[in-house]
Every structure is written in C-alpha cells, then in structure tokens.
Amino acid sequence: MRAEPTFENLLAEIDSFVELKPSDAIKASERGVMLSRAIIALKDVVKLNPKNEGEMGKLASTVDRAATQLTQSALNFKRGGVLRADWVRFAQRDMRRLKDGLLAFREFMLTNAAAFKSWMQAHAPPNIALEKLVRELHEERAISERTFVLLMAHLAKNGRVKLKPSPTVAQLSRISAYLTELQKIRSDADVQQK
C-alpha cells in the first residue's frame, strides 16, 4: 500500500481503485495485486467469529483470483500480438471483477469494523515524523544548515515524511541521540569558556 496500513487507509485505497476508469485496466494490475496481498494478510490475522471468518476467506479468495486474472491479462497485453485488443477487453473485464470483489470486501470491513480497527491499531507500527525530527535537530543546532536543507529537499522530493520501523529508523534514532549529546557537550563547553 502507498500509505500506512490502517483501517481508513485500506478503505481509501479500495475507494481509489474502484474509481479507476476501465481504460486504466493495464496500469491497475499492480495496485490490484497490492490490495489483494493486503487483504490476504488481514484474512490470516484478524480474528472474527467462525461464520465471518468463512465469509472473509471467500471474499479474500475472490479478490485474489480477480487480481491474478487482471495481472495475467495485463501481461498478455504487454506481450503484444494480434490478440492485443482482446487482452485489453479481458483486462477490463477482470478489473470489473476485481472492483466488485473489493467493494464486497469493503462492505464486509465496514460491517466488522470493530474487529478490523482493533487489530490494525494494536499492530500498527510506530511512525517517526522525519520532518519534525530534522527540524528539531536543526533548531538545536545538532545538524548543519547544509544538512538540514539537503534532508528537507529529499523529504519534499520523495513525499515521505514518515518511515516505518526498520534498521534505518533505529540508526536514525541512535544518530539523533548522539547529535543531542554532542549539542549538550558543545553548550557545556561554551558555558565553561565564558
């Protein structure tokens, strides 16, 4: 998913996919696979009562099958050949099926919103606001003006202001702690010199 895996973001991704035009069927195959994977992952972890678990399994299978068919049609279209126009029609048909499956899953999610929200909130990864971190480091003079400008330009260019936990985030946290410590040492040295 392009955004954090929250209940609202998954609904927004589904809504965004459903609004795609039939002419975007070839481009939509990757997004369909991404949504299918997210739904399959949820199916395996969200705990519902047995009746709803069976329905969720069927809906997830429907979405997965439609996403797979859409991807196959898109790949066949990209190969080219005399059947290219037919593959476009097949992709558009598969996209309609995927949209139908996603809409059904969306309704299921809304019906069982409490179970989905509680699981997704409990398992949501913590996020670090990089832009805020960079600004604070700059205000504390822990990073140079040049580093600040480069980091802010990179964040603006890539459009990502939050990172999911990873080794990189752990390294950034350690660097931040070291830079804060360095700033304290510098300020103590300035006080002693005066």
* Same domain for 116 and 21: yes
Domain that holds residue 149: 128-193
Q: Which residues contact 132 (CB under 8 A, 6 or more apart)?
A: none
Question: Mind listing the pLDDT tens digit of every residue in the chain (194 residues)?
Answer: 444 557 788 888 899 899 988 888 878 888 888 888 888 888 777 777 778 888 888 999 999 999 999 999 888 888 878 888 888 899 999 999 999 999 999 999 888 888 777 777 766 655 567 778 888 888 888 888 888 888 887 777 765 545 455 666 667 777 877 888 888 888 888 778 76
* Same domain for 138 and 93: no
Rounded Cα distance, 151 and 62, in Å: 43
Contact assessment for residue 13 and residue 37, using Cβ atoms and an 8 Å cutoff? no
**pTM for this predicted structure:** 0.60
Rounded Cα distance, 163 and 171, in Å: 12
Q: Is residue 1 assigned to a domain?
A: no
**Which among 122, 139, 160 is the end of a domain?**
122
* Same domain for 82 and 59: yes
Count of domains forming the chain: 2
* Same domain for 95 and 20: yes
* Same domain for 138 and 113: no
Rounded Cα distance, 168 and 130, in Å: 12
**Which among 122, 150, 183 is the end of a domain?**
122
Compute the C-alpha angle 38/90/27, nearest 5°.
Answer: 50
Q: Is residue 47 assigned to a domain?
A: yes
Compute the C-alpha angle 35/51/100, nearest 5°.
Answer: 35
